[in-house]
Chain A
Amino acid sequence: MWTVAACLVPPLILSVFIFGIQTLIITAVSVVSCVGVEYLSQKSLGRKVTIKDGSAVITGMLIAFVIPPGVNYLLPVLGAVMAIYIGKHLLGGIGYNIFNPALLARAFLLATFPVAMTSSWLPPLKEMAIFSYLGTSIDAISTATPLAVLKEGGMVAFTAQFGEAANLYTTFFLGWRPGCIGETSGLLIVLGGLYLLYRGYITWHIPVSVIGSVALLSWAFGGETLFGGDPLLAVLSGGILLGAFFMANDYVTCPTNKTAQLVYGVGIGALTVLIRQKGGYPEGICYAILLMNPLSSVFDDWFKPKRFAPPLAPQGGAK
């Protein structure tokens, strides 16, 4: 658990340089709230307190990672209550939660504070002035995320604001774009994910199937013509990488069998592209994962591990 938390630290540090010091404050508020809510939940439900296992810390970091950098500090506190108390402990505690707690928090905040959650985007800082956004009115400086621009104004508006797509790969990959706190730096997220792969904590199945299907389907259906989309830009914008490496493959809420995981990952990718293209939101990975979560146990039932050898056909009562 603590290794996963450690893998989330580099994107967090980078976010301070992209959006300013308040990303650190939001994350701290979120982590402290999650640990506190976990403690209170377990106490009030008469369960063993397990705040030291690090799972609440990860949830706290992930909640902060999927909300915009300009939100009120109260939002992560509410998110923590939703994620930990309702999403996790009322469903039975760790291991029994059906939905990814951090994404449940994001969905809840998006429904209850739609304005704050969809307009508190900050433009990336220049010259590392990390304190410059503190105390300023968010309304005055807020901007729009690349996916929102793309959705509202199409490729023309997108290139007008962010420049030619080809030049953007590097800046987007490094993280210098508007977006949620922890989702922007593809590089650091992928590095963290690769480290978890190397240590054997995660396997390639879900990240590859999610990213692969998003890239493929965005290429096919994301452009003005069939197969005219930009798969790389689709993967680097929004929260695809964060979702693929740190959320879709959450042990508790994803299927356990590898074949099931591949189908599950493709399902998430397909739903994400569907929401992005046809839905009301610019980004779809959050809802895509939440929609696939409850199917995990169904997939585990459909795709069983291959047994060593089946029994002999019953003949002469042999057992």
Chain B
Amino acid sequence: MASLLTFPKGGIHPPEAKELTADLAVEEMVVPAELEIVLGQHIGAPCTPTVAKKDAVSEGDLLGEVVKGLGVPLHSPVAGTIKTLGMSAHPMRVSVPSVTIKTDLEAPARKYQKSDWQKVSKEDLLKKVHAAGVIGVGGAGFPTHVKLNPPPSNPVDTLILNGAECEPYITADYRQMLEANAEIVEGAKIILKILGINKCIIGIENNKPEAIKVMTEAAATGSTTEFQVSVQPLQVKYPQGSEKQLIQTLTGRKVPAFALPSAVGVVVHNVSTTKAIYDAAVLGKPLYEKIVTISGKGIKRPANLRIKVGTKLSDIVAYLGGVTPELSKIIMGGPMMGFAVSSLDIPITKTTSSVLFLAGDEIDSSPHSQCIRCGWCLEACPMGLEPKEIALHVEAGRPEDTGRFGVFECFECGCCAYVCPAKRPLVQFIRLAKMKAKNE
């Protein structure tokens, strides 16, 4: 096992901290009395609401559509009435337009009928995925139907399913793989049909032997001569789940800077996105629920919850019995790439995969000091960039000069900040540089 596949340059091995939730089966969270559904959940143009105040909606009904530009429709996670079209708190953009729905708590959950996707044409399958509002739920929120329809100039030959889940704490994809392995493999076959190719590799980090086992079995059962699905265990190294690093690990191909994976003939989907594609194509069920890992020593009861999109953090905290006195920081997303939040009014979106309630001993909030040019960030960076130089230039008031150190190739994995002995918030400096450089 010593020679497990991984990417060659950079990377780190932070404490995994997955044991808090790894063995907890996905639990249906009680539907809260009110949901706030953010209109701009994906990369691209935000949705325009198709409902008005006081309208009655059923579970799965359309709430909004993208009129112009890139995007996918948005659906109601519950039956209820539209309370307001207003604004919601957001971890990055402060506040964003949203639809507030008052839940009809009496309404039964909607049932979906299975259909045979094999009989549906690939064009219609693609339409179903788009109509169900499926986006990359691993975090990026890129509209899935676009990735399933690569430009003809870039012929694709391989589908990669990302089951690496390399961020510490998060076990949402892990539980998804354990509990919905057959659906994920079916979803992979649906994607293969849409793309018109026959080879799919599922990459899973080796710290999830259970998932590797059940996925390997499901892949063997589901594979046909037409659709070959296989599982590849990967060395545990962060950021193995980064798209470019994963593609390099599994195919040896390097995606050029600023290019999409289709440039090297690969399409990558997260395993949970694949499950959503299955739901869309087989059940006709739109994407409005999310498996979210709620973890950390700051929450009374860590859990893997199936949560309706639009559920606020405050409802989750109340459902899990409150926070502990040790709570020191709340992070949406993983500890490496997530954002600290200052309010419990923030609603869950399609791309939320974890909310961490971290205690004082799980974080390091010591103040940062000057760069001593040790160069550890250069060693840790999987992209071969120069984080220290970017940060020094931002500090010196010259963010516009950071392009030559590769600031726009940075995907903010946080390896540099993790290894920095001076505790410098390098990713924040990089985000500042990107913002300032874009504004000019």
The interface of chain A, by Cβ under 8 A from chain B, is 50, 53, 93-96, 251-252, 254-257, 304-312, 318-319
Q: A93-B370, A251-B372, A251-B373 are in contact. Are A311 and B383 (CB under 8 A)?
A: no
* Pair B259/A307 contact, Cβ less than 8 Å: no
A256 to B388 CA separation, bound complex (whole angstroms): 10
Contact: A304 with B386, CB < 8 Å? Answer: yes
Decide: A311 and B259 in contact? CB cutoff 8 A: yes
Q: Which 3 A-B pairs have the closest CB atoms?
A: A256-B375, A95-B370, A309-B254
The number of chain B residues touching the other chain, given as a range, is 20 to 34
26 inter-chain pairs at a CB distance below 8 angstroms, sorted by A residue, are A50-B369, A53-B369, A94-B372, A95-B370, A95-B372, A95-B373, A95-B422, A251-B372, A255-B375, A256-B386, A304-B386, A305-B378, A305-B384, A305-B385, A307-B257, A307-B409, A308-B9, A308-B254, A308-B384, A309-B256, A310-B257, A311-B258, A312-B256, A312-B258, A312-B259, A319-B258
The minimal Cβ–Cβ distance linking A3 to chain B, given in whole angstroms, is 11
A257-B375, A304-B386 in contact; A310/B256 too (CB < 8 A)? Answer: yes
Shortest Cβ distance from A88 into chain B, in angstroms? 11
In this complex, which of B258, B373, B422 has the most chain A Cβ atoms within 10 angstroms of its Cβ?
A: B373
Q: Does B406 contact A (CB under 8 A)?
A: yes
Q: Counting CB contacts under 8 A, is B382 at the interface?
A: yes
Q: Please tell me if B85 contacts chain A, counting CB pairs below 8 Å.
A: no
> Chain B: interface secondary structure?
loop
CA separation between A50 and B372, bound complex, in Å? 14
Question: Does B140 touch A at the CB level, under 8 Å?
Answer: no
Chain A CB within 8 A of B30 CB: no
Docked Cα-Cα span, A169 to B115, in Å, equals 84
Chain A binding surface SS class? loop
CB distance from B125 to the nearest CB of A (A): 28
Partner of A308, one of B371, B374, B382: B382
- Closest residue on chain B to residue A201 by CB atoms: B374
Q: Is B381 located at the chain interface by the 8 A CB criterion? A: yes
Closest CB-CB distance, B338 to chain A, in whole Å?
23
The reply to whether A308 and B257 form a contact with Cβ atoms under 8 Å apart is yes
Q: Indicate if B283 sits at the interface (CB-CB under 8 A).
A: no
Q: Which B residues form the contact surface with A (CB < 8 A)? A: 9, 244, 254-259, 263, 369-375, 378, 381-386, 388, 406, 409, 422
Q: Contact check, A95 vs B371: say whether CB atoms are below 8 A apart.
A: yes
Contact A308 B373 (CB under 8 A): no
Q: Which residues of A contact B258 (CB under 8 A)?
A: 311-312, 318-319
CB contact between B384 and one of A306, A312, A318, A319 (< 8 Å): that residue: A306
Q: Report A-chain residues with C-beta under 8 Å of the C-beta of B259.
A: 311-312, 318
Known: A50-B369, A96-B370. 7 other contacts (CB 8 A): A95-B370, A251-B374, A251-B375, A255-B375, A305-B384, A308-B9, A312-B257
Q: Give the CA-CA distance A53 to B369 in the complex, in Å.
A: 11
Contacts of A310 in B (CB 8 A): 256-257
Among A94, A96, A309, A318, max chain B CB count under 10 A is at A309
In the complex, A259→B377 CA distance in Å?
15
- B374: chain A residues at CB < 8 Å are 251, 256
Give A205 Cβ to nearest chain B Cβ, in Å. 10
Query: Do B370 and A305 touch (CB < 8 A)?
Result: no
* Distance in Å: Cβ of A241 to nearest Cβ of chain B: 22
- Most B CB contacts (10 A, CB to CB) among A254, A255, A305, A318 go to A305
A61 to B371, CA, bound (A): 23
State whether B255 touches A309 (Cβ < 8 A): yes
A223 and B359 alpha carbons, distance in the complex (Å): 65
A304 to B383, CA, bound (A): 12
